[in-house]
Amino acid sequence: MKAPLRVWIDGTLVAADRAVVSVFDRGFRNGEGVFETFRAYGAHVFRLDQHLERALAGARELGFDAGPRERLHEAVASTARANLDALDGQDSALRLTISAGAIDPDAPFPGRATGEPTVVVTSHRLALDPRRTEVGVTAVTVPLARELPHVKAVSYLVAVTARRRAREEGADEALLTTPSGDVLEGAGSNLFAVVDGTLVTPPTDAGLLAGVTRAVVLEAAGRLGIAADTRPLRVDELVRADEAFLTATTREVVPLVGLDGRALGDGRPGPVTARLIAGYRDIVEEERRTAR
């Protein structure tokens, strides 16, 4: 019999259907928490330490200590290994959620901590359509920006709202934009464009999350000799770009072929995007070989 899917909660792996968190948890009550999404290639969790560094920094910015890095590393790695059988050994997506812990509901707003942070790791099968890499995806611009953009916080309302608007308009992703017309990031992704032969991505100090996958793509570009520039990117410049793509942990590199109902470039995945898809996967395989 196949093993049941398991969830890590505060040091213990439990069956997914028995995984519970208190209603007095500060993540549930106030949105005081951070999360990270990982992609596991079999049992290997890609760029685990980089994701954990971002989670720890985000927790500090929210004013709580997420606990030892080693504990979080073991939580994610153990959950990936524990669910290999339940997921038939396939690649998976994991989510680490760290909240500020329990709250004293009788204390004045915003409450008072009463214990250690809550640490939860879930794992599930990737639900990806490989054709999206072959034909690309579309996006719409949405004039929204996330609060505390450098923190991957559990309060994800802006991203959820933006993605819902995109789906209502028949698009796959929403690109968050500023009132002045600069593109920041996707609701769940970072953005790259190829402009006059140069790879361009908006800077993190513009108010966006520094994606781990974004950093890997810039690493791949350097290896491949592709010129890259981190600078502001306006919507009207993006629509004239030669090609564009999105990056995200579980989806890796996905061509962006349409924006606001218009084709980007020639409406098909471009050659620079194809090179970076291959370059990204080379880095994944190198890390897996080194980790064995």
DSSP per-residue codes, 249-273: TTTEEEEEEEETTEESTTSS--HHH
CATH number attached to the domain at 6-125: 3.30.470.10
Q: What is the CA radius of gyration of the chain?
A: 20
| Per-residue confidence (pLDDT) for residue 109, from 0 to 100 | 78
Return the structure tokens found at 138. Answer: 């579309």
CA dihedral over 88, 89, 90, 95, signed as positive or negative: positive
Residue 1: per-residue pLDDT: 60
- In terms of C-beta density within 10 A (0-12 exposed, 13-18 middle, 19 or more buried), how is residue 113 classed? middle
Q: Give the per-residue pLDDT at 291.
A: 82
How is the chain split into domains, by residue range? 6-125, 131-289
Residues with pLDDT less than 70, the chain: 1
pLDDT per residue as tens digits for the range 58-104? 999 999 999 999 999 999 999 999 999 999 999 999 999 999 999 88
Q: What is the pLDDT of residues 199-216, one digit of tens each?
A: 999 999 999 999 999 999
Strands 137-142 and 252-259: parallel
Nearest to 238 by CA among 268, 193, 198: 193
C-alpha to C-alpha distances, 105 to 29, 98, 108, 113, nearest whole angstrom: 9, 19, 8, 10
**Would you call 221 exposed, middle or buried from its count of C-beta atoms within 10 A (0-12, 13-18, 19+)?**
buried
- Is the separation of the CB atoms in 264 and 192 below 8 Å? no
Question: What CATH superfamily is the domain 131-289?
Answer: D-amino Acid Aminotransferase, subunit A, domain 2 (3.20.10.10)
pLDDT of residue 61: 96
